């Protein structure tokens, strides 16, 4: 038995430009992705014997099972390598689900990184192919840190981004959740034809092509941007396909005070969760571990 663990960071899109729909049903993207210190904890047990892939998310039973992106990543890599060892995955969620913060994709990449170490997979291109098979954001989380992503998200180039303190505002309501596929369909409906050419995007100029189409379908979310601006956040904007909004602060202390000011507010009949996070420049590493149970049984 090999036991490995790592952290799976959330991300925000500082820039998200969406091109035309492609024949494969996806869209060409130009996006600046930045990881955060907000992260899930991922633990992977790899057996030496053949068996099944399982995935558990304590406290979130609806996320258990082989449909979880983390389990799908393990299944895809096993299939590609022709392996059949049992893999048990445990994900402790800290990143809000269906929030535009990439939690599921990050969990999948974390599992790939753990299995690559356990099975001594050094073929980076193979891992990238498996990652893209699982999801468009997954290749980014296999990388080293902030990056511009193009194509479906598979063409990556490193980006230098100044450290930032962010305040994330997320509505705790399933009614306001937005699936990525929905967001892109709404954009296509609002913007028929090819999008116009634009000047080169800049890291210091936040933009998100999905924001207005999503706000037109979820108008209650406009309050989040307004409240962030009200408490002092700079350039509030939606992350990914939403519904999370974020804005910048000069210091962590200022962001913490702003988070307190948002506590108790409601949007669409649901409470708002305010999370202070920092951008990070490097992805977490993978380490071996022993659970308290296994240590006490020796």
> CB-based burial of residue 72 (10 Å sphere; 0-12 exposed, 13-18 middle, 19+ buried)?
buried
Q: Between vectors from CA 58 to CA 55 and to CA 64, what angle results, nearest 5°?
A: 35
Angle between helices 69-81 and 103-118 (to 10 degrees): 30
- φ, ψ at 274 (rounded to 5°): -110, 125
Nearest to 76 by CA among 131, 12, 143, 153: 131
Task: Specify whether 137 is catalytic.
Answer: yes
Would you give the distance in Å from CA 5 to the centre of its chain?
18
| Cα–Cα dist 168/275, whole Å | 5
For 2, 5, 44, 252, 289, the CA distances from 33, given in Å and listed in that order, are 32, 23, 26, 21, 30
Per annotation, catalytic residue among 11, 40, 107, 209: 11
Per annotation, catalytic residue among 40, 107, 137, 209: 137
Task: Specify whether 260 is catalytic.
Answer: no
> CB-based burial of residue 275 (10 Å sphere; 0-12 exposed, 13-18 middle, 19+ buried)?
buried
Please give the torsion angle defined by the CA atoms of residues 210, 34, 205 and 219, in that order, rounded to the nearest 10 degrees. Answer: 30
> Residue ranges of the alpha helices (H) in the chain?
69-81, 103-118, 124-134, 138-141, 180-190, 211-217, 222-230, 252-262, 292-296
Catalytic residues: 11, 137
């Amino acid at each position: 038995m090999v036991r490995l663990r790592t952290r799976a960071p959330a991300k925000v899109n500082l820039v998200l430009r969406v091109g035309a729909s492609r024949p494969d049903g996806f869209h060409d993207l130009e996006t600046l992705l930045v990881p955060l210190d907000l992260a899930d904890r991922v633990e992977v047990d790899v057996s030496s014997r053949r068996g099944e892939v399982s995935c558990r998310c304590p406290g979130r039973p609806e996320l258990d099972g082989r449909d979880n992106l983390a389990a799908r990543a393990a299944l895809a890599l096993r299939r590609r390598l022709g392996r059949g060892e049992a893999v048990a995955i445990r994900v402790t969620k800290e990143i809000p689900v269906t929030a535009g913060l990439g939690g599921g994709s990050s969990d999948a990449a974390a599992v790939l990184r753990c299995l690559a170490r356990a099975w001594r997979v050094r073929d980076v291109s193979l891992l990238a192919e498996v990652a893209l098979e699982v999801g468009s954001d997954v290749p980014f989380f296999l990388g080293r840190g902030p990056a511009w992503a193009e194509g479906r998200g598979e063409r990556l180039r490193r980006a230098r981004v100044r450290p930032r303190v962010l305040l994330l505002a997320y509505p705790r309501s399933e009614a306001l959740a937005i699936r990525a596929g929905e967001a892109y369909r709404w954009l296509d409906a609002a913007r028929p034809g090819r999008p116009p050419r634009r000047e080169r995007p800049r890291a210091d100029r936040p933009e998100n092509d999905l924001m207005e189409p999503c706000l037109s379908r979820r108008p209650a979310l406009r309050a989040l941007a307004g409240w962030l601006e009200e408490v002092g956040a700079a350039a509030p904007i939606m992350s990914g396909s939403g519904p999370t909004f974020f804005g910048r602060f000069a210091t962590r202390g200022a962001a913490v005070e702003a988070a307190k000011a948002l506590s108790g507010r409601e949007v669409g009949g649901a409470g708002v969760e305010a999370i202070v996070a920092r951008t990070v420049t490097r992805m977490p590493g993978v380490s071996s571990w022993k659970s308290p149970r296994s240590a006490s049984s020796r």
